[in-house]
């Protein structure tokens, strides 16, 4: 979470440009500590998060597809659509 402040700043900048933006944070499960969870929950800039496992290079394509699928699902739920 050492980059948390930078992430928030990036989200703040994008939200300033488009207040209707829905932000999505992807975070490795191993980095999702109690402190990380607390900071994410307190943040007004992070709307949704997706936990991912650590990846080996051979797993990137499969993980990318899963990430996109999860993003689409969360986006649909955020917009009130059902899959």
Q: How many CB atoms lie within 10 A of CB 39?
A: 15
How confident is the model at residue 18, as a pLDDT? 94
pLDDT in tens, the chain (83 residues): 568 889 999 999 999 999 998 898 988 888 899 999 999 999 999 998 888 877 666 667 777 788 788 878 877 877 776 54
pTM: predicted TM-score of the whole model, two decimal places = 0.62
What's the pLDDT at 81?
60
Q: What's residue 65's pLDDT?
A: 82
By the 8 A CB rule, do 36 and 46 touch? no
């Amino acid at each position: 979470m050492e980059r948390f402040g930078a992430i928030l700043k990036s989200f703040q900048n994008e939200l300033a440009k488009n207040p209707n933006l829905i932000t999505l944070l992807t975070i490795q499960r191993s980095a999702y500590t109690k402190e990380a969870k607390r900071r994410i929950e307190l943040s007004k800039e992070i709307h949704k998060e997706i936990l991912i496992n650590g990846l080996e290079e051979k797993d990137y394509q499969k993980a990318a597809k899963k990430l996109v699928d999860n993003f689409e699902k969360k986006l649909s739920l955020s917009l009130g659509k059902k899959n």
